[in-house]
Amino acid sequence: MKIVVLVKHVPDATADRRFTDDNTTDRVGVDGILSELDEYAVEEALSIAERGDAEVVVLTMGPAQAADALRKGLQMGADAAVHVVDDALHGSDAIATSLVLADAIEKSGDVDLVLTGMASTDGTMGVVPAMLSERLGLPHIGAVRELTVGDGTVTARRDGDVASETVQARLPAIVSVTDQINEPRYPSFKGIMAAKKKPFQTWSLDDLGVDADQVGLSAAWSVVTEVTKRPPRSAGEIVDDDGNGGARLAEFLAERKFV
């Protein structure tokens, strides 16, 4: 069995995140990490592999720095990594991203299961798995909280507001998991050292047969036209309680329609 896990290198939420001159997210000049929600997908793939005979491949698309996300996946225990990197990819939207990832999945060989997180922590759109389903002609199950891989099928449980659903699909399939499905492991020292010797492939658009005109900012269906930096927080108001502090607090909340 072959499992491909899609991961993304995103700006660290604790870093000074910013936009570039063309109003795209700066992914080069800021510190980045493996998207936290993708760690659950990696963990689920590793758990499946530990229960049976499976190869786990982590796959990403992004600038050179995105290789760090793949290394984290390898350190956690993935068997191999694939990095799609090309200058023409800069500014790609979800539609172009799904095109590139779909071709990369097909190039990876006979893939039985594609796992993703529920969304990326920078874009938070969560639409790429469904787009991949359309492009590859594979069933997609989203918002999965519990996953079981059987003989040629995958069975998933997802919890809604009023009910829990059990959904089954034939393999190959695409499954996006929530952050409630497991607890991702931390890379061990042994895992970190072993990751250095694992297969790591780098593919360009030419390798995938994708025309550069189909991706990038110029091909995006929507673009950010203007960015305004959020103003710094102002100092709070300190009220000296001379017996009417409660009333002042109530007035403050009422003025802002909190009560």
How confident is the model over 121-172, as pLDDT tens digits? 888 889 999 999 999 999 999 999 999 999 999 999 999 899 999 999 999 9
Torsion, Cα of 202, 204, 208, 213 (10° steps): 160
Residue 131 makes CB contacts below 8 A (sequence gap 6+) with: 94, 95, 98
Q: Reply yes or no on whether the pLDDT at 15 is more than 80.
A: no
Q: Is the peptide bond before 139 cis (omega within 30 degrees of 0)?
A: no
CA atoms within 13 A on the CB side of 43: 21
The tens digit of pLDDT for each residue in 54-65 reads 999 999 999 999
Sign of the Cα pseudo-torsion (217, 219, 223, 225, in order): positive
Nearest to 62 by CA among 221, 195, 164, 203: 203
Secondary structure letter of residue 230 according to DSSP: P
Instruction: Check residue 228 and give its pLDDT.
Output: 86
Q: Where residue 84 falls among pLDDT bands split at 50, 70, 90? A: very high
Instruction: Check residue 256 and give its pLDDT.
Output: 86
Q: Where residue 229 falls among pLDDT bands split at 50, 70, 90? A: confident
Is residue 10 within a helix (H) or strand (E), and if so which, with residue range?
strand 9-11
Instruction: Check residue 70 and give its pLDDT.
Output: 98
Nearest to 66 by CA among 55, 81, 76: 81
Map out the domains of the chain as residue ranges: 2-219
Strands (E), 62-211: 80-84, 113-117, 140-144, 146-149, 153-159, 164-170, 173-177, 200-203
Q: Where residue 218 falls among pLDDT bands split at 50, 70, 90? A: very high
CATH classification of 2-219, choosing from 3.40.50.620, 3.40.1280.10, 3.90.550.10, 2.60.34.10?
3.40.50.620
Is residue 50 within a helix (H) or strand (E), and if so which, with residue range?
helix 36-51
- Residue written as token pair 């990876």: 108
**Average pLDDT over the chain, rounded to whole?**
93
Q: Reply yes or no on whether the pLDDT at 32 is more than 80.
A: yes
Q: Reply yes or no on whether the pLDDT at 223 is more than 90.
A: no
118-121 — which CB contacts under 8 Å span 24+ positions? 118/37, 118/142, 118/143, 118/176, 118/177, 118/178, 118/179, 119/37, 120/8, 120/10, 120/35, 120/37, 120/38, 121/10, 121/13, 121/35, 121/36, 121/37
